Structure 1
Amino acid sequence: MKLFLIAGEPSGDRLGGALMAGLSELAPGMEFAGVGGPAMQARGLSSLFPMEELSVMGLAEILPKYLHLRRRVREAAEACLGSGAEALVTIDSPDFGLRVAALVKQAKPSVRTIHYVAPSVWAWRPGRAAKMARHVDHVLALLPFEPPYMTAAGMSCDFVGHPVVAEPRASEAEVQALRERLGTGPAILVLPGSRRSEVTRLAPVFGEVLARLRHRHPGLTALVPTVPHVAGLVRELVAGWPVHPLVIEEAERKRAAFAAADVALAASGTVSLELAANGTPMVIAYDMNPLSMWLITRMARIDTVTLVNLVSDSRVIPEFLGPRCKAEMIAPALLGLLEDAGQRAAQGAAMELTMERLGQGGEPPGLRAARSVLSVLPG
């Protein structure tokens, strides 16, 4: 039996690698083809072309590569059809993967099409589910409340757990070593995003927040985990902060930083789940181009963007979005979190419930995803 898999981002590659590991365990001898990165290649995938060609975001970035990406869509579809694969698994990156699925389904309807990571139709653009259902048979969802949205559109769907529950954690020794280095004042984890536009917009605001906190807590320290492609920009922007931060790139030290911090100030996104996994109380803040912010606000179907709030059915994580993303509003919320044990306990309960609902303590998500894929394959 053969599967054709497509991932277009590092996060999708990690999901694909875990899925392939689960499939190899449950169905030894299964063959794989498609597009993927290091994690999928380590499981035996020979990538049709470099996955990095698909890791583009934003209109300005995509337009110059539009014709090339169109060729890659057709090339991937033809390779899938020519491989004899029983199923196509597209992993996140819907702009590319679902176009491939449409061509494959049109040419050979018997090929099962599976999409891993349900689109967030519960947040905005609900029509995406119905559009996807034209070409997709089955969906693997990361969040427990997503399956009903997919089944309502005509696809089968299984909640398979979120990968955050299976990610490695820092050891107590690693956490203790970092805490000893930080001193006795409060340690604040500062996460201004992983994209250049996010970091450029948020770093000055976050620096001003630290300036306000230092008046109350002169001994505070700041930890800034980052990723290699924006590390240089981060170092440049934090150089003028009133609290000289420790910028961290290495994965092991990042894990220790998440666990060692007293509180976190973070851009919105899945980072809130990483913080929840480590039990780190947080405040979320985010801003973008005013027109983009206005459009998203108009289209939004939810009253919170923080996944911990959504999964736990609570609203205990404070958010400061768009025009509210200002130091004078964020700083009091962080101070309250640092100084009020009740607030920290409320967040702790919500984070614990979130991790439980995402599958912590159960079968690893990669194995659950593999079982779900096998359940819809022919024969």
Structure 2
Amino acid sequence: MRLFLVAGEASGDKLGAALMAGLKSLVPEVTFEGIGGPLMEAEGLTSRFPMEELSVMGIAEVLPKYRHLKRRIAETAQAVIAMRPDALITIDSPDFCLRVAKIVKEAVPEQKTIHYVAPSVWAWRPGRAVKMARVIDHVLALLPFEPPYMEAAGMSCDFVGHPVVAEPRATVEQADALRETLMIGPRQPVVLCLPGSRRGEVKRLLPRFEAALKILGQRHPDLRVIVPTVRGVAAMVRDMTAGWETAPIIVETADDKRAAFAAADLALAASGTVSLELAANRVPMVIAYDANVISWHIIWNLMRIDTVTLVNLVSETRAVPEFLGPKCRAEKIAPALEALISDPAARAAQIAAMEETMRRLGEGGEPPGLRAARSVLKALAA
């Protein structure tokens, strides 16, 4: 079995790696080609070009790189057409992936196409599912309420859970060891600063996060800040934090990041998949996000929901506070962080919402990567 996979950002790299591991356990002779990051490369993929080239989000952010992205779309599509794999599996990054699938389907209508991560049509732009159905045959959904939306648009779809529920987590001993290595006392509060995995996000959010954490630090002088980051933006994060009043601790390795999540008391994070990673580790959080003013205006006017945080959506609560767009300001964010340190009720409400979120996403069941692999094989046999 030969498969062509395409992932365009860190969260997609995680999904792709879990899927690849699941497929290898079921079909040992499977081979992979395509585009992915370090996790997918570790599972046996040789990426055709650096995945980070595709980690662009927002209209204003994409425009300067449009010609280069268009070339990469054509190049990727032609590679699929030449290979004629058993399936093209695109993973999230719909602006890139679905354009690739469109070119492939036009050239080879019988090519099986599978997309991992259903578009959030329940949140905004419901017409995307119908448009996607023209080029995608089968969808692997991360959230339990998504399959009906995909099936109504004409695609087959399985809820496969989210890999976050099966990802390894650090033990208490590993968390304590990290604290000791970093010379953090057992009672010192530790906050994770998570400004995103895209360069545009980091550039926009990190200064605001710094300002909010500075306010929090005035009330908690012993506060320690840890910034877990990814390969594509690590150098930028180091440059941008070099002048911070209190130097944060930057961690890049998978083991250190897991230990940091286990050791943390709270987190300030950009909107996205990271909220589920925090939930899996039961780390209370504040979500803050902003985009280019043009992108934000368009997105906000199309929104059909009152929260973007996955923990809130899956648990059907609003336990996690959000500061989005114009509200993404340090003086608003800092009090919400303070509440997670000083208000036991606020922490307890979030922990309960996290427990329910993980239960609904399949925690304790078959690993989602394996469930996704079974769904792929079922789709190929249909």
Do Structure 1 and Structure 2 share a fold, with TM-score over 0.5? Answer: yes
Aligned-residue Cα RMSD (Å) equals 2.6
Is 1:283–2:286 an aligned residue pair?
Answer: yes
Q: Is this contact kept in 2: 1:186–1:220, CA < 8 A?
A: yes
Q: Is this contact kept in 2: 1:210–1:242, CA < 8 A?
A: no
In the alignment, residue 359 of structure 1 is paired with which amino acid? Answer: G
Which range moves more in the overlay, 130-139 or 104-113?
Answer: 104-113
> What SS is found at the alignment partner of 1:218?
coil
Name 2:304's counterpart in structure 1. Answer: 301
Which range moves more in the overlay, 230-239 or 250-259?
Answer: 230-239
Name 2:237's counterpart in structure 1. Answer: 234
C-alpha distance in 2 between matches for 1:240 and 1:51 = 29
Q: TM-score, normalised by structure 2?
A: 0.89
Deviation of the 1:175 alpha carbon: 0.6
Name 2:147's counterpart in structure 1. Answer: 147
Identity within the alignment, %? 67
Deviation of the 1:54 alpha carbon: 4.1
Name 1:360's counterpart in structure 2. Answer: 363
C-alpha distance in 2 between matches for 1:34 and 1:220 = 43
Which range moves more in the overlay, 43-52 or 294-303?
Answer: 43-52
C-alpha distance in 2 between matches for 1:86 and 1:185 = 53
Deviation of the 1:30 alpha carbon: 3.4
C-alpha distance in 2 between matches for 1:216 and 1:52 = 38
Name 1:15's counterpart in structure 2. Answer: 15
C-alpha distance in 2 between matches for 1:203 and 1:73 = 30
In the alignment, residue 343 of structure 2 is paired with which amino acid? Answer: D
Pair 249,27 (structure 1): closer, same or farther in 2 beyond 3 Å: closer
Q: Pairwise mapping of residues 1-379 of structure 1 onto structure 2 (< 5 A)? A: 1-45=1-45, 47=47, 51-58=51-58, 62-63=62-63, 66-67=66-67, 69-180=69-180, 181-183=183-185, 184-378=187-381
In the alignment, residue 182 of structure 1 is paired with which amino acid? Answer: I
> What SS is found at the alignment partner of 1:372?
helix
Which range moves more in the overlay, 219-228 or 267-276?
Answer: 219-228
C-alpha distance in 2 between matches for 1:67 and 1:242 = 40
Superposed CA deviations along residues 174-222 of structure 1, whole A, max 9, x for unmatched, are 2112334212332222223333333333333333323332343232222
Deviation of the 1:38 alpha carbon: 4.4
Pair 205,155 (structure 1): closer, same or farther in 2 beyond 3 Å: same
> What SS is found at the alignment partner of 1:330?
helix
Deviation of the 1:320 alpha carbon: 1.3
Pair 118,338 (structure 1): closer, same or farther in 2 beyond 3 Å: same
C-alpha distance in 2 between matches for 1:286 and 1:56 = 15
Q: Is this contact kept in 2: 1:210–1:243, CA < 8 A?
A: no
Q: Is this contact kept in 1: 2:60–2:294, CA < 8 A?
A: no
C-alpha distance in 2 between matches for 1:228 and 1:49 = 15
In the alignment, residue 371 of structure 1 is paired with which amino acid? Answer: R
Q: Is this contact kept in 1: 2:268–2:285, CA < 8 A?
A: yes
Pair 48,213 (structure 1): closer, same or farther in 2 beyond 3 Å: closer
Q: Max radius of gyration: which structure?
A: 1
Deviation of the 1:369 alpha carbon: 0.7
Superposed CA deviations along residues 4-37 of structure 1, whole A, max 9, x for unmatched, are 3333334333323322322232234334444444
Pair 32,169 (structure 1): closer, same or farther in 2 beyond 3 Å: same
Q: Is this contact kept in 1: 2:10–2:230, CA < 8 A?
A: no
Q: Is this contact kept in 2: 1:284–1:319, CA < 8 A?
A: yes
Q: TM-score, normalised by structure 1?
A: 0.89
How many positions carry a matched residue from both structures? 379
Q: Is this contact kept in 2: 1:208–1:241, CA < 8 A?
A: no
Q: Is this contact kept in 2: 1:207–1:242, CA < 8 A?
A: no
**Structure 1 residue runs of 4+, over 6 Å off?**
none
> What SS is found at the alignment partner of 1:377?
helix
Where structure 2 has 5 or more consecutive residues not aligned to the other structure, the ranges are none
